[in-house]
Amino acid sequence: QVQFVESGGGLVQPGGSLRLSCGASGFTLDYYAIGWFRQAPGKEREGVSCITSSPTWSYYVDSVKGRFTISRNNAKNTVYLQMNSLKPEDTAVYFCATASLCSDYARGGDKFKYWGQGTQVTVSS
């Protein structure tokens, strides 16, 4: 069965870290660009980061540059988002999604086709 699942969210204090995982089963992520997106209550979905397939190029929106790192392990069919120095404004439901390329991830990812169910990240003291 085809599955595409985010995990790793939770509650952390400001300045803390989380690592989100986006794992696939039933299909391979090798040939896809993978984007991370987030949506806070009352806000539109926004792009966070994206990684291409091969070679791997990584992209970040300005608000997370220097704090977040996207990576992929094709052998594990998994993409990660390491989030450090978390801020309350990072609080959102985080989604991963697939596309052929990363070109529109920063605009919200309308071209991304396959989406996970989302994982909640809450940054609060």
User: How confident is the model over 60-84, as pLDDT tens digits?
Assistant: 999 999 999 999 999 999 999 999 9
Mean pLDDT estimate for the chain: 96
CA-to-CA distance for 29 and 21, rounded, in angstroms? 13
Confidence of residue 37 (pLDDT cuts 50, 70, 90): very high
CA-to-CA distance for 39 and 72, rounded, in angstroms? 22
Q: Which has the closest alpha carbon to 113: 123, 121, 125, 104?
A: 104
State yes or no: pLDDT of 111 exceeds 80.
Answer: yes
State yes or no: pLDDT of 43 exceeds 80.
Answer: yes
CA-to-CA distance for 3 and 35, rounded, in angstroms? 16
What letter does residue 41 receive in the DSSP assignment? T
